[in-house]
Structure 1
Amino acid sequence: MARYGAWLGFSVVLLLVAGATRAQEDDGVHYPRSWLNVDIKPIVNNERLFRKYKECLLADKTNGCPRDVVEFKRILPEVLENTCSKCLPEHITKVKEALEYICQKRPADYDEVRNHRDPTGELQAKFAEKYGKINC
């Protein structure tokens, strides 16, 4: 499982960008454009909500997790294995902005999930190579 996990930014950000996530693609090729409409700042700034999302991402079980977290965890292996190949350029921009925001506002949480989900740094390096480094 750790191989598929991502550092906090990638996991949480994709989840937060997804909002009320649906695994189905709008056009059958890309992830839904509706994911672009989510403002992650209120989620990151809400201690209770952010903690719940983070706990669910780190947990092996999904009991008691919000439906969007459960759905996101289901598609996370595909997203990470393919370095977000179904993401639109707008998704990548949104992910990078959100990663930077989370890293700045919650650096300890960012590091905790990153270390848990991507202990070798391999996934982060692949993302940076393909889309550019996250300014953290």
Structure 2
Amino acid sequence: MHPQHFCMIVMVTTATVVAADFYSSKYDDFDVQPLLENDRILLSYTKCFLDEGPCTPDAKDFKKIIPEALETSCGKCSPKQRVLIKSVIRAVMERQPKSWNELVDRYDEDRKYRESFNKFLEEKD
């Protein structure tokens, strides 16, 4: 194999592996403002996550990654996703504390990830 071809294969493989280390960038530009500004919309997402209401396609996608994101303190989140997730979680915590506690009970019943996740939430964006 020609050395240039080998280098190209290594670069493509490396780029693929690095990209796989993050969640899909599909939602990097997700507009969280409606969730942050409208309690009804925020509550509908929360109810979806708790299996208490219908899910929009976006909410379904987010719901799938909640357990892993919680366990890893958003370890596969891109920098943009980290900012978006922190904004939404802080809104739920502040405006819907009961729902937040229900989410914690559902996704971290043993409170194994609470301390590390709280540190993630406190990090500067």
Settle same-fold status: TM greater than 0.5. yes
Q: Note closer, same or farther for the CA distance 1:97–1:51 as it changes in structure 2 (3 Å cut).
A: closer
Which runs of 5 or more residues in structure 1 are unaligned?
Answer: 1-25
* C-alpha separation in 1, matches of 2:69 and 2:48: 17
Give the aligned partner of residue 126 of structure 1: 116
RMSD of aligned alpha carbons: 3.1
Of structures 1 and 2, the one scoring higher in RCO (CA 8 A, sep 6+) is: 1
Q: Which amino acid aligns with 1:54?
A: T
* C-alpha separation in 1, matches of 2:44 and 2:83: 25
* C-alpha separation in 2, matches of 1:38 and 1:122: 29
5 Å matches for 1:1-136? 27-59=19-51, 64-129=54-119, 131=120, 133=122
Q: Which amino acid aligns with 1:50?
A: L
Which runs of 5 or more residues in structure 2 are unaligned?
Answer: 1-17
SS state at 1:122 partner: coil
CA positional deviation for 1:58: 0.8
How many residues get paired?
Answer: 106
**Which of structures 1 and 2 has the bigger CA Rg?**
2
Residues 26-63 of structure 1: per-residue CA shift (max 9 Å, x gap):
93221234433233232243344333222221118x8x
Percent pairwise identity: 25
Q: Note closer, same or farther for the CA distance 1:68–1:58 as it changes in structure 2 (3 Å cut).
A: same
Give the aligned partner of residue 18 of structure 1: none
**How does the TM-score come out when normalised to structure 2?**
0.60
SS state at 2:73 partner: coil
Q: Which amino acid aligns with 2:42?
A: F
* C-alpha separation in 2, matches of 1:102 and 1:51: 8
Runs of 4+ in 1 over 6 A off after TM superposition: none
